[in-house]
């Protein structure tokens, strides 16, 4: 004897499949959001500083951040001879780096996010 399925059985199957789809979508979105914010805060920041007077900036970076820099000679179209400093810091050190740069007039910087440093 064959059992007849009632309408509730069909509703249960449809609602169950719909809820399962919503659950999967929720986990995908939540994972993407968490990864985005986690990667942002854990990423290494490359700070490139263009300056004509690198000694004071380098001294402050060494003393306040306990970091060092790569120094390159550079030349600007307007300002002429400059030095380019490259320093790698964490996201949480960025406010202190901004403070260091702002104290030294005539300097400007860019900040880039680095995915990986090979050694």
- Give 66-119 as a DSSP string: ----EEEEEEETTTEEEEEEEEEEEGGGHHHHHHHHHHSTT-EEEEEEES----
pLDDT at 3: 59
pLDDT digits (tens, 9 = 90+) for 31-54: 888 877 777 677 899 999 999 889
The answer to whether the CB of 86 falls within 8 A of the CB of 46 is yes
Mean pLDDT within 96-109: 91
pLDDT at 22: 80
Closest CA to 97 of 119, 74, 55, 66: 66
Compute CA distances 84 → 18, 19, 51, whole Å.
Answer: 57, 56, 6
pLDDT at 80: 87
Q: Which residue has the higher pLDDT, 107 or 48?
A: 48
Mean pLDDT within 115-119: 80
When mean pLDDT is compared across 16-25, 68-77, 80-89, the lowest value belongs to 16-25
């Amino acid at each position: 004897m064959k059992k007849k399925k009632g309408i509730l059985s069909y509703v249960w199957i449809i609602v169950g499949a719909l809820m399962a789809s919503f659950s999967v979508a929720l986990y995908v979105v939540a994972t993407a959001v968490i990864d985005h914010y986690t990667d942002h805060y854990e990423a290494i920041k490359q700070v490139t500083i263009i300056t004509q007077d690198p000694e004071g900036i380098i001294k402050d970076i060494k003393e306040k951040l306990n970091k060092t820099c790569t120094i390159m000679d550079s030349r600007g179209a307007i300002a002429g001879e400059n030095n380019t400093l490259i320093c790698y810091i964490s996201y949480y050190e960025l406010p202190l780096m901004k403070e260091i740069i702002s104290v030294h007039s005539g300097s400007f910087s860019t900040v880039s996010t680095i995915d990986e440093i090979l050694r």
